[in-house]
């Protein structure tokens, strides 16, 4: 398995990680048995970075990951997050970055994950009511106490990243990054490279859209959260379908799948970028991991860049209310 490093002096992790959020909420129907098998296969294939959060499934996601890793915990790098408050049924409850809450949230995650240390602990969403120095200071104390090994932020702006990094070194910043979401390239990625911080790319397959699996909104079950996302709504959905042609053409020429082409493009953007495609199915996991072996040539990369310039996708990447809470 190809590896990449979490920051200049951080640990090496698999070049592709596994996003676990869809195993318990948001996308499709949960299947604990298949999700557990997928986590086990990921370990067998050399995947070491597993991404979760206390917000996913109101903590159920952490419980599932902890149970699935079991005695193989030592083979995995667990990344979890705090501060994006959810109710027991997934209700959104704002953000919380208060220092006293950081320690409480961490202890609860440790119990659910059945571990004594979280390898990478993110602030899931920035709390505008709390200075970032106060929140990161509390995270630093978790590192000092041995409960956390590395820290990071999720969806933060340049000024916040710089102030946080000055308080305690960040190993990674997690951002949405894919062919149809290239916002990070403008300011965030140059800042991270200046400071020596890795970019962990979530939704690298455009919440599944870039796989070419969806040809109609009817392909999503009624409870799928993507119905609320502007890019999946009527009008935008049809326009975005037209973007898939260049990915599918490269895939057909190379005898690969569109998802592998999208991941190979992302891997080619720099050794400091670590995609974490999410899946609860072993079939898709194998496909995603195999993308590591697909090296795109300059002509293919140029064609994809031309087909997906920043802003090419129709619709914003989140509903307006969620966009306002991203802190960037």
Residue by residue, DSSP assigns 123-167 as ESS--TTS-HHHHHHHHHHHHHHTSEEEEEEES--HHHHHHHHHH
pLDDT at 106 over 80: yes
Whole-angstrom Cα distance, residue 288 to residue 68? 20
Q: Are 79 and 49 in contact (CB under 8 A)?
A: yes
Active site residue 56: yes
Residue written as token pair 């959104």: 92
% pLDDT > 90, the chain: 79
pLDDT digits (tens, 9 = 90+) for 250-304: 999 999 999 999 999 999 999 999 999 999 999 999 999 999 999 999 999 999 9
Q: Which position among 27, 56, 121, 177 bears the catalytic label?
A: 56
Contact (Cβ atoms closer than 8 angstroms) between residue 273 and residue 16: no
Residue 324: pLDDT over 70: yes
Give the residue extent of every domain in the chain: 3-208+269-294
Which fold, 3-208+269-294?
Answer: TIM Barrel (3.20.20)
179-219 per-position pLDDT tens digit = 999 999 999 999 999 999 999 999 999 998 999 888 888 88
Q: How far apart are the first and last CA of the chain?
A: 33
């Amino acid at each position: 398995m190809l590896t990449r490093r979490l920051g200049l002096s951080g640990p090496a992790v698999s070049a592709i990680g596994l996003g676990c959020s869809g195993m318990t909420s948001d996308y499709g129907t949960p299947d604990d048995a298949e999700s557990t098998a997928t986590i086990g296969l990921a370990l067998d294939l050399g995947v070491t970075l597993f991404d979760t959060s206390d917000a996913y499934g109101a903590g159920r996601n952490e419980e599932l990951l902890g149970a699935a890793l079991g005695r193989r915990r030592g083979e995995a790098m667990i990344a979890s997050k705090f501060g994006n408050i959810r109710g027991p049924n997934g209700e959104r409850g704002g953000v919380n970055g208060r220092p006293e809450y950081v320690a409480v949230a961490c202890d609860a995650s440790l119990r659910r994950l059945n571990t004594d240390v979280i390898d990478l602990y993110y602030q899931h969403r920035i709390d505008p009511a709390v200075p970032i120095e106060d929140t990161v200071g509390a995270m630093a104390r978790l590192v000092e106490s041995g409960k956390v090994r590395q820290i990071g932020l999720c969806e933060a702006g340049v000024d916040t990243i710089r102030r946080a990094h000055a308080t305690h070194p960040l190993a990674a910043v997690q951002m949405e990054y894919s062919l149809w979401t290239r916002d990070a390239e403008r300011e965030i990625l140059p800042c991270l490279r200046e400071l020596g911080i890795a970019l962990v790319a979530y939704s690298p397959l455009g919440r599944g859209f870039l796989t070419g699996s969806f040809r109609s909104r009817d392909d999503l079950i009624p409870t799928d959260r993507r119905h609320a996302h502007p890019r999946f709504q009527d009008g935008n959905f049809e326009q975005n379908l037209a973007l898939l042609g260049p990915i599918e053409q490269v895939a057909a020429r190379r005898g690969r799948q569109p998802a592998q082409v999208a991941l190979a493009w992302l891997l080619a953007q720099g050794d400091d970028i670590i995609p974490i495609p999410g899946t609860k199915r072993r079939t898709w996991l194998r496909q995603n991991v195999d993308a590591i072996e697909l090296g795109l040539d300059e002509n293919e990369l140029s064609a994809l860049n031309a087909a997906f310039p920043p802003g090419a996708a129709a619709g914003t990447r989140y509903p307006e209310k969620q966009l306002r809470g991203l802190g960037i």
